[in-house]
Structure formats: C-alpha cells, structure tokens
Chain A
Amino acid sequence: MHNSFSPLERFVRGLFLAFMLVWSVGPIFFIVLSSFKRQVDIFVYPPKLIFVPTIDNYLKLATQWNGFFHAMGNSLIVAIGATVLAGIVSFLGGYAYSRYRSRLTSWTAVYMIAVRVLPPIVVTLPLFPVVDRLGLSDTHILLILLYATFWVSLNTMIMKNFFDQIPYELDEAAYVDGATEWQLVTRILIRLTLQGMAAGSIFVFVYAWNEYLFAMIFTTNNAKTAPLILSELMGAIDGTVWGVLFAGVTLQLVPVVLLVTLARRYLIAGLTAGSVKG
C-alpha cells in the first residue's frame, strides 16, 4: 500500500488515532501512574505528570492487604487449571467434530452453541445446591471446572475450524505410513493446530484471571481470587484507599498485558480462523 493521503486527511487520521489511544489506553495509564503516587497527589487538578514516584502503595498492599497475594496465587492456579482443562477438551472435541461427522455430532454442536448463548448465570445458579452437596464450594476445582466449561464450547468450534483446514489426505497419508490414530494426533495434528490452541488458551486464561461474578458466588475464603480482593479494597470500612487499590489493579494487569502482547500473533490467527487459507 502506498501513502497518498493529503495533509488534511493525515491530520484527521492522526486525530482519530489520538482519540482512540486516549480512550483505550488513558484509564490504564492513569491507574498505573497513580499507583506510584502519594494518596494526596492522585486526584489533584490539574493532574501531575511529573512527580516523585513512591512504592508506598505496594508496600501497604503487601503489609495491610496481604490476602491479595494469596488471592493472586488462587487466580493463577484457577486460570492455569482452566486453561489446561479447556485446552485438552476442546482439542479432542475439535478433532472429533472435524473428523467424525454424523447426525449426532451436528446436533451436539448446535446444543453447545445454544448453551453458550444463554446468560451464564442462568445456567450456573441452579448448580449451587449440587456444588454444595459435593463439597466443592470454595475450591479451586470448582472454578476450574466452571471456567473451562464456559469456554469449551467456543474453543471446540475454533479448534474444529483449525482441524478442518488440515486436509484429510494428511491423516490418510499418516495411516498409510503406519500411524495409529493416537500417533496421528500426537505427532502430526497437534503441531498443526498449535496456533488455535494458543489462541483458545489466551481466551480462557484471561477470562479466568479476570472473572468476578462466579468467584463471588462460589468462593468465600480458601479459593478467593484477586478480583474479589480488589473489590473489597474499594469498599473498605475506612474509605477507599485509592493508591493501594491502583497498586493491586496494576499487578492484576501485568500477566494479561504480557500474555496478550507476547501471543498477539496467535490471538489474531485464532480470531480469524477459517477466514484465510493457511
């Protein structure tokens, strides 16, 4: 593409870009910056862009709200667990939907999508007594199951798209070469669907890391995740300690930003699966 815009066009485009940047990055920038300010400096007007940074907020978070780090650990366990579980199930599901076509598979595919469209809370709340009876409330396993289940339907379809792009002749070539179905899947197909797995994993991880509602309903203490602590920070009895809250939010942001930046390529591939021929 060559650049043939007039100066006015370029100015308007720049303006739009600036607006979008302020719109999307502005709040994050404000939070991250504020987490390094003293409480009194946070809401002064006009905002101070030049100030002496302090890590007081982080120290306070560590000393007065040390439950936050425990909760972050919980978030990590739950996010990784859900990602792995959803990854395995949707990989195998996608394989089955792509390679074993029958009336049964097409009906269940419709069902999976339909369930995904319902408000999650409607599907989940009736589970409460069951979960209680099974002794699963306030456990990591429960959140892992919930989050993974929530994403398996969509990720299975993403994986099916990836499998569909691999010509069936490749399977046949492997069979003729002497491979069993297990060897076909583990030595060939898994390598060719890595992009899809990566994209799907990011969705699950980010979702599980950020999720608030289910965690609030189903955990009380042991499996409490980081977003719950952040909300408690906001509603603290002695008023919101903004600096500490912003420090927590900043820490909460780090893994997501890192993950999405590192895996940007896979993410886009996953979102556009099936639209372009590999």
Chain B
Amino acid sequence: MAEVRLSNIRKLYGKIEIIPSLDLDIDDGEFVVLVGPSGCGKSTLLRMIAGLEPINSGDLMIAGARVNDLSPKERNIAMVFQNYALYPHMTVRENMAFSLRLAKADKATIDGHIGRASEILGLAPLLERLPRQLSGGQRQRVAMGRAIVRDPSVFLFDEPLSNLDAKLRVQMRTEIRSLHDRLKVTTIYVTHDQIEAMTMADKIVVLREGCVEQAGRPMDLYSRPANLFVATFLGSPEMNLLPATRDAAEFDLGEDGKLSGGADFGETGPRDITVGVRPHDIMLKPADQAKLKATVAVVERTGAETVVTCTLPSGRHVCAAMPGQVAVNAGEQVGLGFNPLQLHYFDTGSGKALAA
C-alpha cells in the first residue's frame, strides 16, 4: 500500500499543453476518482501514473519514492483497462498468472494468489475458460482479478465500467467499492460519469482542461462547489443557474422577478451574481404563493421521483425534482419556492463561488 503524490506535473503533446501544472495528494488506502468531461486530461493523468505516458516535468512519488523514470512494472501498480485488455489466447487462469510467471514466481505461489483472487471475485468456476467465452461483467471481473493477484500498492482503473450495460454498471460499481473496502489498497479511478464518482469515491478530483477545479469529499463538492463548472458537473439533474443583479439583499432576475436570498455580500461584493439552485431544493407551490412564477413545460416521472421542467417568463428553463409522484401537468402555472439557505452564489464574471 502506498500514498501517491503529484507535484507540478506537466504534460505536453508536441506543443499542446494537456496538463499545465498539477498537484494532487492521494493518501494511503484512499479511493480517489478523477472525473471530468472528455478531453480534460484525466486518462492521460492516470496513464502517467501508470508509466504508460512520459511525464514532461514535475515529480510523481509513489510510497515516498520518485517514480517518474521507472517503467510500469517497476512502479508496483496494477491497471484495469476500459476494454478489459485480456489476453484472448489465454484462459482466465493464464491471464491472471501472466504477471506472476513473468516475475518467475513458483507454482505454489501462483496457485495461492489465483485461488485467493478467484475466491474474492467469484471466478473459480471460470478459470479454464477463454475470455471470449465470458460475459462483459465476467471479463471485467477477470481484469480485476489480474490486477489483484499481483498485490500491487496502487490500483488504477481507466473507465472500467463504460462498456457495460446500465444494470451491470450499478452492480459492478458496488463490487469495486466493496473490493476496495476489503483490500484497502490505494485506488485511482477515472470516469466521466459523475454518479460513479459520487457513489464510489472517498475523494473526488474534478478536472477541466488539465487543471484541478476542485478536490474533496463527494458531499463537500456537492454542497459547496468551488465554481460554476463543479456546480453543474456534479448532480443530476444539474444545478439551475439564474444570472442576477444584486440589489442590496435582493437578487434581480430581470423580467422573471426578484429573489430575496439568505446572503449579504455587502457593499464591496460583485454586482453580477449567478444564483444556483439544485433541482431537489425547489418546491412547487400554487402560483400566487411564490415570487417566481413559471409554466410547466415537461413532466418526467420515474416512479420514485418527478422531474418537472418549467419555463420562466424570460424563456429560461428551471428544473425541479421532487420525491414521489407529484400531481402536476404540462401547461399549468406554478410558483417556485426555495429555501434561501440552500441557494448557491457565484461571481458571474469569474465563475467562482461566493461565501454566503
């Protein structure tokens, strides 16, 4: 087991800067999820940690040692790839044994490691099969088994669930997380799926254009996003943003009306403010009981939840999500109610969050 420290890490492809300068500390045994839109550099970062991409400058430390110039095998890491990357001509057992064979482990050691890994992952009945005789979920498990047998100090996962169907994805999510809880090996997991990030991580690192936008515990990021990007990236449906002009303690939304917030930014604070409100923090009220009025445009019911998209007088859409089944229909006039304490405020110019 090991902690991973990245300081001042920089990556260029030719003259294009993929990662300008990145610092990140990952503690021993921590489950860290790197999340961000495609092209944000998360996979590149993971591959740099694995030793599959050279690092242009900066220091990468694993367990206290600088590993920048070490080959993947010398870093004592294991990686699970998006398309599993199982060796097609080898059985499940041979796939798992490959790294141990290369390390010239004796047969008893190999059998011991494979036995333990296949017990943890329920692979015992599949050991003599070839990858093409396995389902997607089973292949995924073999890929994890191949990683486990090596007793690595760090596990790396590169979007491991994106080739699976939705149901299996949820199941494997739980399996990977419980595997981590059992083995307690430092894990770095890359995904573009914010639900995976929220549900699995001890710590989420949100990346954009090679920079860390915010890092922290999932619920901290959800309830106190550092900027507009993080605010809209995490949470589903995404946070509603209402650009406003501050007028004393009120927020003027133009033709949509005014909001009286729970925040006071004083005389010196910015005037142009974006008010953010999560769909789950909006209550639908009778139109005459709320300051903000809207027309219901679309109602989506999933059974457990009702998601209502409303149109404000300015034409802007606001999304509200309520538990259970709410009796509301498209075309109805409604009022939108908020708890002022659950509103988020951002400087419209810089996008940064303002402390309420």
Residues of A within 8 A of B (CB): 167, 169-170, 172-179, 183, 187-188, 191-192
B146 adjacent to A192 (CB under 8 Å) = no
A188 adjacent to B87 (CB under 8 Å) = yes
For B315-341 the 0/1 string (1 means CB < 8 A from A) is 000000000000000000000000000
Question: A177 with B83: in contact, given A172-B52, A183-B102, A192-B88 (CB under 8 Å)?
Answer: no
Q: Which residue of B lies closest to A188 (CB)?
A: B87
Between-chain CB contacts (< 8 Å), 21 pairs: A169-B81, A172-B50, A172-B52, A173-B79, A173-B85, A175-B52, A175-B72, A175-B73, A176-B72, A176-B79, A177-B99, A177-B150, A178-B102, A178-B103, A179-B98, A183-B102, A187-B98, A188-B89, A191-B89, A192-B88, A192-B89
Residues of B with C-beta under 8 A to A170: 85, 87
Residues of A with C-beta under 8 A to B102: 177-179, 183
Instruction: State how many angstroms separate the Cβ of B200 from the closest Cβ of chain A.
Output: 22
B interface majority secondary structure: loop
Out of B82, B98, B99, B150, name the residue touching A169 (CB < 8 Å): B82
Instruction: State how many angstroms separate the Cβ of A170 from the closest Cβ of chain B.
Output: 5
Residues of A with C-beta under 8 A to B85: 167, 169-170, 172-173
Instruction: State how many angstroms separate the Cβ of A177 from the closest Cβ of chain B.
Output: 4
Which B84-113 residues have C-beta < 8 A from chain A? 85-89, 98-99, 102-103
Give A174 to B78 CA distance when docked, in angstroms.
11
Residues of B with C-beta under 8 A to A188: 87, 89
A172 adjacent to B81 (CB under 8 Å) = yes
Residues of B within 8 A of A (CB): 50-52, 71-73, 77-79, 81-83, 85-89, 98-99, 102-103, 146, 150
Instruction: State how many angstroms separate the Cβ of A72 from the closest Cβ of chain B.
Output: 37
Q: Which residue of A lies closest to B156 (CB)?
A: A176
Instruction: State how many angstroms separate the Cβ of B330 from the closest Cβ of chain A.
Output: 45
> Most chain-A Cβ atoms within 10 A of its Cβ — which of B71, B83, B87?
B87
A176 adjacent to B87 (CB under 8 Å) = no
Residues of B with C-beta under 8 A to A187: 98
Question: A167 with B83: in contact, given A177-B73, A177-B99 (CB under 8 Å)?
Answer: yes
Residues of A with C-beta under 8 A to B146: 173, 177
A176 adjacent to B83 (CB under 8 Å) = no
Q: Which residue of B lies closest to A167 (CB)?
A: B83
Question: A178 with B73: in contact, given A170-B85, A188-B87 (CB under 8 Å)?
Answer: yes
- Other A-B pairs beyond A175-B71, A178-B73, 6, CB < 8 Å: A167-B85, A172-B50, A172-B79, A173-B81, A175-B52, A192-B88
